[in-house]
Amino acid sequence: MGFVMSKFNQNGGVPRADSVLVRPVHPIRAWLLGLIFAGSLVPFTIAPKLSGNVSSRYMTIEGLVERGTLAIDASPLLAGSGSPDVVRFGRHLYSDKPPVLPAMGAGVYAILVPLGIRFSGSAAQFVLANLVLVISIVGVASALTLVWLRQLLQTIPIDRRLADLLTLGFGFGSLLFTYGVTFNNHSVAAALLTGCFALAILENPDGKRVKFTRALAGFLAGLAATIDLPPGALLLAGIAAWQTVKFRKLPLPFLAGALPPLLLHCLLQSAVTGSPLPAEMYPKAFEYPGSYWMTAAGAWKETVPRWQFGLEFLFGHQGWFTITPVLFFLPVGLAFVLARRTDPLWPAAALIAGMVLVLVVYYVWGVRRTDFAGQSFGTRHMLAITPLCFFFAIVGLQRLHRRAVTIVFLALIAAGGIYAVSGANDPWSRVEKRAQTNTAVRMLQKLVIYPWSSYRR
């Protein structure tokens, strides 16, 4: 059913054709875990966690609601934001971020403005506007990520209470917690990718709402592609290709579901760049008088070979595996599944392995400059796919089937939790700064595999 066509027995996880759910739980169980996680984010969200990234999106939200435009020239936030994430097209300045997420935020902000709550009002008004936006969009998305992750774990033969613990462990032990307290696209994309993947895996082809389920999966994938283009577009293409091969025809419900958010993106993005292509595809748009990127501080100079940056990206101070060390189990889980072509998880594992490979290659060799993460904490650009990678890390844990391995797995989650909570206090400063004041982070940083940094800004 969906990707998974069989049931696992208890003898080493060997599949036998039966059912997709080997450890089914009541849906309320997953929702309660999501609710617990959402509530834990609120105290960290009260004090705004701002950056140039956040400010550029907030200026777009404000412009849409208060002036009916995507341009941010007239925003009262512009002068004080110091945001480098600004481009010029024609005579106007715009955020360089894709516009669909700000459009979603505008729907929330439009409710606040008639109540007298504005970004440009008092400090208290700004704090409240930020709190509502982050909780209603990023907080909800972060909670949904755990809901869908817990639902996915029904396909793995592990103890239900352990599955609950691992679900919460991922929430508190990854960048999902760090970025769940600030307005950003990666947390939202994590929910959309996890939801799409869960719908594909858990689909019951004999159910009465198959077309609706596939359309909803397509909608989530399409929306993810407009909010976090690289992982979202890869999942959209991957699921579409898999369904085409599986059903031997175009997956029309899936593609139809993806169409509305993609059309919305084309409409909004064209109002900025003149085409559906994002601002990053127009380097000249960053070159205007007053642009940060035209200053000495913003100028780019290649400092290390890209293969060395790849090691830094994965295993450096801010590396993907450094900040979320439980992901060292990811290749174990993928290897177990991909080694057996008949494994029911094989198509899903192939998709995730391919996505990880393409994303790493893209972020290491495909981007124009290697300081694209700026001052942010950890490797946030891999956050969207991290829940699905964690799912296969748990597959590795289950297939190894050793108590000592479980202890190591939980210890790695705990190490990730130290990083995650530290990052949640300020998601927009690098981990090296945190190591100066946080003893636990400093101790963990001594274990970094690749302890060199090419970051110069």
Q: Is the dihedral of CA 154, 158, 164, 168 positive or negative?
A: negative
Does residue 154 carry a pLDDT above 60?
yes
Does residue 19 carry a pLDDT above 70?
no
Does residue 369 carry a pLDDT above 70?
yes
Rounded Cα distance between 301 and 249, Å, is 48
**Contacts for 357 with CB less than 8 Å, ≥ 6 apart:** none
Q: Residue 292: how many CB atoms within 10 A of its CB?
A: 16
Q: Please provide the DSSP assignment of 84-109 as one string.
A: S-EEEETTEEEESS-SHHHHHHHHHH
- Average pLDDT value for the chain: 93
Predicted TM-score (pTM) of the model is 0.93
Select, from the ranges 190-199, 206-215, 285-294, the one with the highest average predicted confidence (pLDDT). 190-199
Does residue 321 carry a pLDDT above 70?
yes
What is the per-residue pLDDT across 333-355, written as a single tens digit (0 to 9) for each? 999 999 999 999 999 999 999 99
Decide: 223 and 184 in contact? Cβ < 8 Å: no
Question: End-to-end CA distance of the chain, in Å?
Answer: 49
Does residue 18 carry a pLDDT above 80?
no
Average pLDDT over residues 401-416: 96
**Alpha-carbon separation of residue 394 from 113, 165, 166, 328, 413 (angstroms):** 45, 12, 8, 11, 11
Decide: 251 and 245 in contact? Cβ < 8 Å: no
Does residue 12 carry a pLDDT above 50?
no
Rounded Cα distance between 93 and 190, Å, is 29
pLDDT of residue 7: 38
**Pick from 384, 388, 390: nearest CA to 186:** 384
Task: Report the percent of the chain where pLDDT is more than 70.
Answer: 95
Does residue 1 carry a pLDDT above 80?
no
Does residue 221 carry a pLDDT above 50?
yes
Does residue 289 carry a pLDDT above 70?
yes
pLDDT category at 278 given cuts 50, 70, 90 is: very high
Rounded Cα distance between 51 and 375, Å, is 9
163 forms bridges with which residues in the sheet?
none
Average pLDDT over residues 237-263: 95
Does residue 16 carry a pLDDT above 70?
no
Average pLDDT over residues 90-106: 97
pLDDT of residue 435: 85
